[in-house]
Amino acid sequence: MAAVKVALVTGSSSGIGEAVARRLADAGYRVVVNSARSVEQGEKVAAGLPDAHYVRADISVEAEAQRLVADAVAHYGRLDLLVNNAGFTRPVPHADLAGADPELWRVILGLNVIGTWQTTVAAMPHLTDTGAGAVVNISSVAGSRPAGSSIPYAVSKAAIEHMTRLLANTVGPRVRVNAVAPGLIETPWTSGKDFFAPIAAKVRESTPLRRTGLPEDVAEAVLNLAEAAYTTGQVLLVDGGAHLI
């Protein structure tokens, strides 16, 4: 009888991360739910999934990223899938160069890029041990287009996409590394925000699928890449066809 697969999803107390955790659980994974601050919500998500486990950890801190992975492996005895979803942004108009101050760069790159790297490095020996481990990074269309909530955020996602390719080329054949690049997704972070409404209206009017995305759309793509045994080094756009316009 095959062992039950275990997935660690960073930043999974709400939004895309929560949807990913739920979709993986539906597919039979045992899921480690994580957040840095929303402990009550993270525990609630884990409690609603079969045999899930919650760990509070801030992956931008190396010791905490390592502890998160160690806790996941200690709890389940293995790790098959890492989904690097945790991230941060703060809206800054691209023309406001002074608004993207060095501290914002440090915070965004520290979590989105360095945090992703630290967690991946900590997880890699365990993913390798399975012989068929997988990493799925969450990027953004902003990683390849002049878009996004701020220039530091867009740069961080571009870095994640190239990190995905470099790692895929390095850690195969025992571990596959891919990324999902969502377009405009309706999440608690975008809900009710002034900047979101006009962008959403444009997406609904002009993109081929005529709607904004849902966290579940991204979650389905993550599961597909997690299970795609002959796919590595890919960045899958999940944007309703926005890249075509």
Which CATH number characterizes residue 58's domain?
3.40.50.720
What residues are paired with 136 via a beta bridge?
83, 178
Q: Is residue 195 part of a domain?
A: no
Number of domains in the chain: 1
Residue 184: predicted pLDDT: 86
| Residue 143, token pair as written in the block | 């990683």
Q: Is 153 a catalytic residue?
A: yes
97 SS3 class:
coil
Q: Is residue 201 part of a domain?
A: no
| Residue 212, token pair as written in the block | 């904004």
Residue 4: predicted pLDDT: 94
Q: Where do runs of H (alpha helix) occur along 27-81?
A: 39-47, 62-76
175 SS3 class:
strand
Q: Is residue 206 part of a domain?
A: no
Q: Is residue 42 part of a domain?
A: yes
Q: Is residue 202 part of a domain?
A: no
**The one catalytic residue among 29, 54, 153, 230:** 153
Q: Is residue 191 part of a domain?
A: no
Residue 192: predicted pLDDT: 65
pTM, full prediction: 0.94
In this predicted model, what pLDDT tens digit does every residue of 56-93 receive, in sequence order? 999 999 999 999 999 999 999 999 999 999 999 999 99
Low-confidence ranges of the chain (pLDDT < 70): 1-2, 191-193, 195
Strand-by-strand arrangement of the 30-35 sheet: 53-56, 30-35, 6-9, 81-84, 133-138, 175-182, 235-238
Q: Is residue 161 part of a domain?
A: yes
Q: Is residue 40 part of a domain?
A: yes
- Give the range of the structural domain holding residue 128, as residue numbers without chain letter: 6-185+214-239
